[in-house]
A and B are shown apart, each in its own frame.
Chain A
Amino acid sequence: MNPAFQGMITIFIGVGGCIAYFHLSNQFLDKVLFPARGPKAGRNINRANMIRPWLFLFPAIFALGLYLAYPVVETLRLSLTDRDAGGAFVGLANYQQMFGEAKFWEALRNNMLWLIVVPAASTAMGLLSAQLTDRIKWGSVAKSLIFMPMAISFVGAAVIFKLVYDTRPVDQDQIGILNAVWLQFSGGPASFLLLKITPAVILAAFAAIVGYVGYIFARPILESRSNGGGAGFAPLRILVGLGALYLVFLSIQSILSLFTADLPYGVPQTWLTIPFWNSFFLMIVLIWIQTGFAMVILSAALRGIPEETIEAAIVDGAGPFQIFFKIKVPQIMGTIVVVWTTITITVLKVFDIVFAMTNGQWETQVLANYMFDKLFRANDWGVGSAAAIIIMILVSPILIWNVYNARKEMK
């Protein structure tokens, strides 16, 4: 059957069926099961109203249960079975096999790197963009253009950046803009300024911001020791603090290696094959996309800060940087956390970028692509499910945090 025709029928059946179901079930409830007539009218109405929410909810609960809740359990079960043995229970053999593969550990290491760098960079760039674009007349146009990459598919973005990273042999003209820019450098003072000083400054600023965030998270724990009280969510705070510390260490290490490195000027680089740094070139794609998202949300949050607070600070003589770091950032901290966690979830799910650009070669493998590889290339459902469970474990802190916050709001 022609798929478009099939689609129209499906829409018709889906929408019509839903409306029919709701209408008829409500009618049934009100007219047949618990009619609002006769001596038991009051009791019937109450009973009908107790049941009605479940009528409204039933299709959604069914779909959610089948498509999201049941798979969690089933994937866990599948990860403990072996498909080749006809689905027999093999305990943790899949996990053992997975832990024995070097590609898995490479994927896990890369994912950690992605998880640390991409949300931090996107949020920071988003905050910067929000602050900058809020002050200029053409701010809404600028915001549209920075937000535009969110509408592009990850595959489209992969093509766009493959063109940016393209490499031609040294005797031909470069068509990738990164190599064209790279070939302009020849080791002189401009190269030193742009290729060593500027990245060092950026890395230092990055380390400072991350250190600050880690400090904010860990401060209640440090203070609670002297106060004798307990800080909520202690494990998370410790984790974030340690992560921030590690990131600051990485940044300092990068700055040092930057100054001692002997850069290959004048040679076009195949950017996506340079070990370790190619992951960063892939991350740039996701940062490019997610910054717009961060910018839109943080811009709204910044505009929500009451003006009186800022005015009072200015009257008291605070400079723009002080206002930004001591007043604005703490006030929107809740939103920053939401943006950060949302981007983290996206980072764990992203598989298209790595799949389209390098497919995990040259040490760029990530867990989502690893799982896809196991599932469809190796047809190994056991190990693929095990990889999916690992992704779930990585995501669960955020899940718990979000649910905790939601319940707090309910009260």
Chain B
Amino acid sequence: MDNIAGSKSSLSWVVNISCVLLVALWVFPTFGLLVSSFRTTDQISTSGWWAAMFPNEQSQQLRVADPDENRREIDGIFVVEGNIFGEPTGADISSWGTSSRDIAAYAPGEVADLGDGETFVIEADGAYIWSGNDEQISGRGQRAFVTALSPPEFTLDNYDNILFSGGPGDNMAKAFFNTLTVTIPATIIPIVVAAFAAYALAWMDFPGRALLIAAVVGLLVVPLQLALIPLLKLHVDIGIGKGYLGAWLAHTGFGLPLAIYLLRNYMVGLPRDIIENAKVDGATDFQIFTKIILPLSFPALASFAIFQFLWTWNDLLVAKVFLIDATGQTTVMTDQIVNLLGTRGGNWEILATAAFVSISVPLIVFFAMQKYLVRGLLAGSVK
């Protein structure tokens, strides 16, 4: 449409810039979480994540190395040399001082006269020289107040904590596998059941077909909340109780309307002649289904599979009702994050990392299979 309308270049600039702003607005919250997950507790509590990517200025109180072990004697003068940070960190000292009352008394490289021939100098990269006589260079190391521009530092410790080494509240490895265990059967089984039903509703003619399709459309709208209490009661009464089986059955039941709807819409669009020819050739309905319809319906099957995978992975309500009991043995990632929000609400490094670990798998699935997800959304939505 733009090529016939003769778009002005200025309008195109406005559109581009507004798009950049729009995308930035949508992306920055997630980006903030990602950056926060690589920072330490101190960093997060003292500065916003947007400052993490630039060198930030910090004032610290440091001590030189222990003089009794590190001093050397040169011509009767005792000298302690080293780096005030312990080892060079790439920081850039902007000012330093020896007393807490004036922490910016000296510039880097300026020699401080501490009286009676004792001198102290710190360079911009942290290298210091502290010299004096025997009595001065002893005991505790000289104190220095240093204001430095330190480069952005990031750490993988949070991920290590969350994935491998952390305590029972922090470690998400178990929850990760639990979520995987809930999700995979809950994705595969509805597909099988729905595919047969969708084929019947699409290609078989029988009285009541329109009514059933309308019923499926209606059931698409029914809110989950309505089904929780009776089904929990039913599960407890027939002995399944709370557990994986209950969660799988629940997810299957709740996912069926969408599955049947999506698959039926797609199957109706399949070419009629192939099916008719197969029937003429004497194939039974079952053979037509397994050998023709199923392979041809693969895009719709993939679309629903991704939908259902994302839905069950991100789900909290069904897990809390049908899976998680009071023992705390079973937990899914969404539930663990909610618990972390309550118990470790102030520890943003843990929260951010946990949240990012839990959203990483859906994001990977999303970016890898976006085409199918979009196609599934569009099926039946565009009029």
B177 A4 Cβ-Cβ under 8 A: yes
B192 A410 Cβ-Cβ under 8 A: no
Size range of the chain B interface in the assembly? 35 or more
SS of B interface (majority): helix
Q: Judge if B74 is at the interface, Cβ distance under 8 Å.
A: no
A410 B210 Cβ-Cβ under 8 A: yes
**Shortest distance in angstroms between B307's beta carbon and chain A's nearest beta carbon?**
10
Query: A363–B252 Cα gap in the complex (Å)?
Result: 35
A410: chain B residues at CB < 8 Å are 210, 213-214
Query: A355–B216 Cα gap in the complex (Å)?
Result: 30
A158: chain B residues at CB < 8 Å are 341
**Interface window among B42-50, B102-110, B127-135, B140-148:** B42-50
B219: chain A residues at CB < 8 Å are 64, 68-69
B252: chain A residues at CB < 8 Å are 63, 67
- B334's nearest neighbour on chain A, judged by CB, is A155
- A69's nearest neighbour on chain B, judged by CB, is B219
**Shortest distance in angstroms between A127's beta carbon and chain B's nearest beta carbon?**
12
B204 A52 Cβ-Cβ under 8 A: yes
- A392's nearest neighbour on chain B, judged by CB, is B226
- B212's nearest neighbour on chain A, judged by CB, is A57
Query: A342–B286 Cα gap in the complex (Å)?
Result: 35
A392 B223 Cβ-Cβ under 8 A: yes
Contact of A288 among B29, B210, B286 (CB under 8 A): B29
**Interface window among B62-70, B117-125, B195-203:** B195-203
CB-contacts of A170-191 with B (<8 A)? 172-177, 180
Q: Judge if B383 is at the interface, Cβ distance under 8 Å.
A: yes
Query: A68–B381 Cα gap in the complex (Å)?
Result: 23
A155 B316 Cβ-Cβ under 8 A: yes
B33 A163 Cβ-Cβ under 8 A: yes
Mask of B214-227 contacts with A, CB within 8 angstroms, 1/0: 11111111111111
A338 B181 Cβ-Cβ under 8 A: no
A56 touching B200 in the complex, CB below 8 Å, given contacts A71-B227, A154-B316, A345-B223: yes
Q: Judge if A116 is at the interface, Cβ distance under 8 Å.
A: no
Contact of A132 among B22, B213, B223, B229 (CB under 8 A): B22
B316 A142 Cβ-Cβ under 8 A: no
Q: Judge if A334 is at the interface, Cβ distance under 8 Å.
A: yes
B231 A71 Cβ-Cβ under 8 A: yes
B223: chain A residues at CB < 8 Å are 345, 348-349, 368, 388, 391-392, 395
Best-buried of A14, A166, A311, A349 by chain B (most CB within 10 Å): A14
Q: Judge if A105 is at the interface, Cβ distance under 8 Å.
A: no
Query: A128–B50 Cα gap in the complex (Å)?
Result: 28
B28: chain A residues at CB < 8 Å are 177
A10 touching B196 in the complex, CB below 8 Å, given contacts A135-B15, A151-B310, A300-B382: no
**Interface window among A198-206, A218-226, A264-272, A399-407:** A399-407
**Shortest distance in angstroms between B177's beta carbon and chain A's nearest beta carbon?**
7
A145 touching B23 in the complex, CB below 8 Å, given contacts A153-B316, A160-B33: yes
Q: Judge if B249 is at the interface, Cβ distance under 8 Å.
A: yes
B313 A159 Cβ-Cβ under 8 A: no
B194: chain A residues at CB < 8 Å are 60
Q: Judge if A156 is at the interface, Cβ distance under 8 Å.
A: yes
A388 B226 Cβ-Cβ under 8 A: yes
Contact of A352 among B189, B213, B316 (CB under 8 A): B316
A345: chain B residues at CB < 8 Å are 221, 223
A355 B338 Cβ-Cβ under 8 A: yes
Mask of B1-34 contacts with A, CB within 8 angstroms, 1/0: 1101101000010011011001100111110110
CB-contacts of B284-328 with A (<8 A)? 284-286, 310, 313-317, 320
B383 A338 Cβ-Cβ under 8 A: yes
Q: Judge if A381 is at the interface, Cβ distance under 8 Å.
A: yes
Contact of A148 among B12, B216, B363 (CB under 8 A): B363
Mask of B177-188 contacts with A, CB within 8 angstroms, 1/0: 110110011001
B227 A160 Cβ-Cβ under 8 A: no
B33 A173 Cβ-Cβ under 8 A: no
A59: chain B residues at CB < 8 Å are 193, 196-197
**Shortest distance in angstroms between A314's beta carbon and chain B's nearest beta carbon?**
5
Query: A21–B2 Cα gap in the complex (Å)?
Result: 56
Size range of the chain A interface in the assembly? 35 or more
A335 B382 Cβ-Cβ under 8 A: yes
A50 touching B206 in the complex, CB below 8 Å, given contacts A164-B32, A176-B48, A297-B377: yes
**Shortest distance in angstroms between B382's beta carbon and chain A's nearest beta carbon?**
5
Mask of A29-62 contacts with B, CB within 8 angstroms, 1/0: 0100000000000000000011011101101110
B214: chain A residues at CB < 8 Å are 403, 406-407, 410
Best-buried of A132, A345, A391 by chain B (most CB within 10 Å): A132
B377 A406 Cβ-Cβ under 8 A: no
B201: chain A residues at CB < 8 Å are 57
CB-contacts of B214-258 with A (<8 A)? 214-231, 233-234, 244-245, 248-250, 252-254, 256-257
Enumerate chain B interface residues (CB-CB to A < 8 A): 1-2, 4-5, 7, 12, 15-16, 18-19, 22-23, 26-30, 32-33, 36, 44-50, 177-178, 180-181, 184-185, 188-189, 192-194, 196-197, 199-201, 204, 206, 209-210, 212-231, 233-234, 244-245, 248-250, 252-254, 256-257, 260, 284-286, 310, 313-317, 320, 330, 334, 337-338, 341, 348, 351-352, 354-355, 358-359, 362-363, 365-367, 370, 374, 377-378, 381-383
Kindly list 6 other residue pairs between chains A and B, CB separation below 8 angstroms, not including A60-B197, A66-B253, A132-B15. Answer: A60-B260, A64-B257, A135-B2, A156-B359, A345-B223, A388-B228
Enumerate chain A interface residues (CB-CB to B < 8 A): 3-4, 6-7, 10-11, 14-15, 18-19, 22-23, 26, 30, 49-50, 52-54, 56-57, 59-61, 63-64, 66-72, 74-75, 78, 128-129, 132-133, 135-136, 138-139, 142, 144-156, 158-164, 166, 172-177, 180, 288, 291-293, 296-297, 300-301, 304, 307, 310-311, 314, 334-335, 338-339, 342, 345, 348-349, 351-352, 355-356, 368, 371-372, 375-376, 381, 384-385, 387-389, 391-392, 395, 398-399, 402-403, 406-407, 410
Across the A-B interface, the 4 shortest Cβ-Cβ residue pairs:
A67-B253, A153-B314, A60-B197, A334-B383
User: Could you list some 19 contacts between A and B, CB below 8 A?
Assistant: A10-B248, A18-B189, A52-B285, A56-B204, A60-B197, A60-B256, A74-B229, A135-B12, A136-B12, A144-B370, A147-B374, A148-B27, A151-B363, A152-B359, A152-B363, A160-B29, A163-B29, A163-B351, A372-B225
